[in-house]
Amino acid sequence: MNALLAATATREVQWNVPDGLVVFMYASMAAALAIFAYGIWRRARIWRLGRPYSVRGRPWLRTRRMLAGLAQVTVLRRVFPGVMHALLYYGFLVLFAATVMVFLYDDLGIDGVFEGDFYLWFESLTVDIFGILFLVGAGIGFYRRYVVRPAYLARNEPWDALLLGSLFAIALTGFGLEGIRIEATADPWASWSPGGNVVAHAVSPLSDGVLEDVFPWLWGLHVLMWHVLLAALPFTKALHWFTTPANLFFARPVAPRSVPTPTDFEAEEVRLGIKNASDMTWKQLFDLDSCTECGRCTSVCPAYASGSALDPKRVIIDLRDAIRARGLAAEPLAGDVVSYEALWACTTCRACEEACPVGIEHVPTILGLRQNLAMEQVRMPGGVSDLVANLEAREHPFRGATAGRTDWAEGLDVPALGSVAEAGGAEVVYWIGCAAAFDERAQKIARAVVRVLRHAGVRFAVVSSQERCNGDVARRTGNEFHYDLLARENVEMLNGAGVTTLLTHCPHCLEQLRYEYERFGGRYEVRHHSALVSALIEEGRVRLRPGERERVTYHDPCYLGRYNREFDAPRRVLDVLGVERVEMPRHGAESFCCGAGGGHAFFDETEGPDKVNQIRTREAAATGATTVVTGCPFCLTMLASGARAVGTPERTLRTMDFVELVAEALDE
Ligand code: SF4
Ligand code: SF4
């Protein structure tokens, strides 16, 4: 029943554990198992009531992610908390394995478990070492939570300290039992049990009689604590011990990433986002029970960093607690359980999902709740209402008349897309996007792209006049109905024109055209201009003059990097330009948002006292760069406004799309 008791028995030392205590322990084990099973059944019942979610495809990739989780690779991405978790995890596994072996030997009478060297190497030495590491891990856990106290660990569930404390106490009483045994039996192999040996020395002043009296009660306490923990598991965050490997397997392994559950507007009863838990998929419900409360999502969240009401860890925990307490009918989740301000503060940057070690997908849940606010409750920031009105009236979110869509190309004589054939068999069909069509600053990006394409001799056509907004801004502000309309119209137009390959300089357009239009029958090969320009340079089709060696830092747009996994192409281009490229501390997959995503380019009412774009611009300025370069027109606008806000009259960061630097350096 217990490793140390069995070890005691193994050495034929008869301790006087009262029969009544042993019977009580068996009864408590049965009760603990029954409560544990009941708790799991209650959780599983909720998961089963969730909406469908497909786990088809990429089984090997899913398995790899699950194994990486089991091996602690995902938690070790952050060293200090990762090591803490790994010590607890591996320590627990070894102690648990030892307990199972003892159960086999002592309770079921299976011989051969503890014989010879195996007893010494595993049951004594290995178990002791891992037990010590387990205590160290628990100690680090206490130190982080109650001494260092990072803000993102505040407000964990009240069980947190109790859970960590009970793990610590179980391990400590285990060493206590071992130490008493070693001391009382003058164990000749004591040196094989370093932890127990230390305790043995500590209890050596006590008489044999005292040790004999203490042992059964300490054993009882040790076992009882484990039973209580077992019973409590499904009702606390410790449930993640069982759910996280599965959650890593279930998490969507490929693009499109972080999209809301599609709405069927043809259905008899249309669900307008997530009103209550029954509107969530079973994976979204499973996510809630997989959270370790590590706070990594919160620590990287730009909205949280700006002081807004959004704390992604709290979103998950508050939903979990509300659904546990009130069941599937708990409503309204949007605006009540998760506040209006928190839901509108999300920039959909995916930093939380990238940081989460257990595969939780925050964004689809936040967007589902936002959909309910937008489409059912009609509670939106003023800027969102305006952009929806613009989409309805003009099919783009900016001010400015639709007729102005092609103004950016004035004097460029660009071939318009009639059909690809009419365009003379264009190598590339260039999708301009609304920003370059209606925003003066972004128009320069499109003009620079055209200049580079012409220089490289690329035959291209532009969609421009036939484009509508790609719908991203509608989708990310919860207005799925408007998104649905725009996406269908764009797909119909592109398919009608026979378009199969596209170029865009906007990562939001890229995401839609490359991945999210597939649901509407739009399957295109889409390249971001960074990939195309980088390839043209490599092919020798773009010749560049050596430029000034100015110091430049690159900002990864969330929808290019974390959504579309393109990190290298823009950097390759910058390196060819010969600039001195310096990285911000947060870059690549860990990049910090500019603040524009999720429709925030059009509203900022829910932002905190600090501004996301200003935080990012300060970070860029701290590198000593004179120019911050990016590959997204929305990032460019946010960084430019950040640079104006945080700069000084003497020094304001220049903000550029990398293709503008290429156009400046063309050797014509
Ligand atoms: S997507 Fe970005 S802004 Fe939204 S919760 Fe996650 S980290 Fe925060
Ligand atoms: S959602 Fe993920 S990253 Fe956030 S606290 Fe939970 S486990 Fe940690």
Phi/psi for 310 (5° steps) reads: -85, 130
Q: Whose CA is nearest to atom 2 of ligand 1?
A: 349
What is residue 419's predicted lDDT score, i.e. its pLDDT?
56
What is residue 15's predicted lDDT score, i.e. its pLDDT?
61
Query: pTM of the full predicted structure?
Result: 0.93
Q: Whose CA is nearest to atom 8 of ligand 2?
A: 294
Does the structure show a pLDDT above 70 at 2?
no
Smallest-distance ligand from the CA of 370? 1
What is residue 10's predicted lDDT score, i.e. its pLDDT?
44
- Give the mutation target among 310, 476, 563 for probing the ligand 1 site: most ligand atoms within 8 A of CB: 310
Q: How far is the CA of 378 from the centre of ligand 2 (A)?
A: 30
What is residue 102's predicted lDDT score, i.e. its pLDDT?
80
- Among 105-119, 334-348, 420-434, the range scoring the smallest mean pLDDT is 105-119
Band the pLDDT of 424: cuts 50, 70, 90: low
Smallest-distance ligand from the CA of 351? 1
Does the structure show a pLDDT above 50 at 133?
yes
Does the structure show a pLDDT above 90 at 543?
yes
**Three-state SS at 173:** helix
Q: How far apart are the first and last CA of the chain?
A: 82
Kindly give the number of the ligand 2 atom that is closest to the alpha carbon of 362.
Answer: 1
- Residue 302 near ligand 1, beta carbon < 6 Å: yes
What is residue 16's predicted lDDT score, i.e. its pLDDT?
64
- Among 66-75, 155-164, 191-200, 543-552, the range scoring the smallest mean pLDDT is 155-164
Residue-wise pLDDT tens digits, 598-642: 999 999 877 788 999 999 999 999 999 999 999 999 999 999 999
Band the pLDDT of 648: cuts 50, 70, 90: confident
How far is the C-alpha of 435 from the C-alpha of 514, rounded, in Å? 18
- Residue 248 near ligand 2, beta carbon < 6 Å: no
Could you tell me where in the chain the CATH 1.10.1060 domains are found?
A: 255-379
Residue-wise pLDDT tens digits, 217-259: 999 999 999 999 999 999 999 999 999 999 999 999 999 999 9
Does the structure show a pLDDT above 50 at 1?
no
What is residue 12's predicted lDDT score, i.e. its pLDDT?
42
Question: Which residues neighbour 149 within 8 Å (Cβ) at sequence distance 6 or greater?
Answer: none
| Helices within 306-374 (DSSP H only) | 312-326, 340-345, 351-355, 362-371
- Residue 597 near ligand 1, beta carbon < 6 Å: no
Band the pLDDT of 6: cuts 50, 70, 90: very low
Question: Which residues neighbour 113 within 8 Å (Cβ) at sequence distance 6 or greater?
Answer: 101, 102, 104, 105
Contact yes or no for 505/449 (Cβ under 8 A): yes
Q: Whose CA is nearest to atom 2 of ligand 2?
A: 356
What is residue 81's predicted lDDT score, i.e. its pLDDT?
93
Average pLDDT, the chain: 92
Does the structure show a pLDDT above 80 at 583?
yes
Residue 279 burial (CB count, 10 A): 22
Does the structure show a pLDDT above 80 at 168?
yes
Q: Whose CA is nearest to atom 4 of ligand 1?
A: 346
When pLDDT is averaged across residues 382-409 and rounded to a whole number, the result is 91
Neighbour-count burial for 550-584, b at 16+ CB within 10 Å, e otherwise? eebbbbbbbbbbbbbebbebbbbbbebbebebeeb
Does the structure show a pLDDT above 70 at 325?
yes
- Residue 312 near ligand 1, beta carbon < 6 Å: yes
Q: How far is the CA of 345 from the centre of ligand 1 (A)?
A: 8
Residue with the larger pLDDT of the pair 50 and 4: 50
Residue with the larger pLDDT of the pair 370 and 105: 370
Residue-wise pLDDT tens digits, 296-319: 999 999 999 999 999 999 999 999
Q: Which fold has domain 255-379?
A: Fumarate Reductase Iron-sulfur Protein; Chain B, domain 2 (1.10.1060)
What is residue 649's predicted lDDT score, i.e. its pLDDT?
72
How far is the C-alpha of 409 from the C-alpha of 234, rounded, in Å? 61
- Residue 310 near ligand 2, beta carbon < 6 Å: no
Q: How far is the CA of 313 from the centre of ligand 2 (A)?
A: 6
Give helix 194-203 / helix 159-185 axis angle, nearest 10°: 70
When pLDDT is averaged across residues 398-408 and rounded to a whole number, the result is 86
- Identify the sign of the CA torsion 517, 522, 525, 527: negative
**Three-state SS at 506:** coil
How far is the C-alpha of 377 from the C-alpha of 218, rounded, in Å? 58
What is residue 327's predicted lDDT score, i.e. its pLDDT?
80
Pick one of 3.40.50, 3.30.70, 2.60.40, 3.10.590 as the CATH number of 392-537: 3.40.50
Contact yes or no for 433/507 (Cβ under 8 A): no
Does the structure show a pLDDT above 90 at 17?
no
How far is the C-alpha of 438 from the C-alpha of 407, rounded, in Å? 8
- Residue 182 near ligand 1, beta carbon < 6 Å: no
- Identify the sign of the CA torsion 430, 435, 439, 442: negative
Question: Which residues neighbour 108 within 8 Å (Cβ) at sequence distance 6 or greater?
Answer: none
Could you tell me where in the chain the CATH 3.40.50 domains are found?
A: 392-537, 544-664
Q: Whose CA is nearest to atom 3 of ligand 2?
A: 356
The helix (run of H) or strand (run of E) holding residue 93 is helix 79-102
CATH number of the structural domain 3-246: 1.20.950.20
Q: How far is the CA of 569 from the centre of ligand 2 (A)?
A: 31
CA-angle at 352, arms to 347 and 354, nearest 5°: 115
When pLDDT is averaged across residues 94-116 and rounded to a whole number, the result is 81
Q: Whose CA is nearest to atom 1 of ligand 1?
A: 348
**Three-state SS at 269:** coil
Residue-wise pLDDT tens digits, 459-518: 999 998 899 999 999 999 999 999 999 999 999 999 999 999 999 999 999 999 999 999
Q: How far is the CA of 349 from the centre of ligand 1 (A)?
A: 5
- Give the mutation target among 152, 346, 356 for probing the ligand 1 site: most ligand atoms within 8 A of CB: 346
- Residue 359 near ligand 2, beta carbon < 6 Å: no
Does the structure show a pLDDT above 80 at 115?
no
Q: Which fold has domain 544-664?
A: Rossmann fold (3.40.50)
Q: How far is the CA of 362 from the centre of ligand 2 (A)?
A: 9
Residue 624 burial (CB count, 10 A): 10
Could you tell me where in the chain the CATH 1.20.950.20 domains are found?
A: 3-246
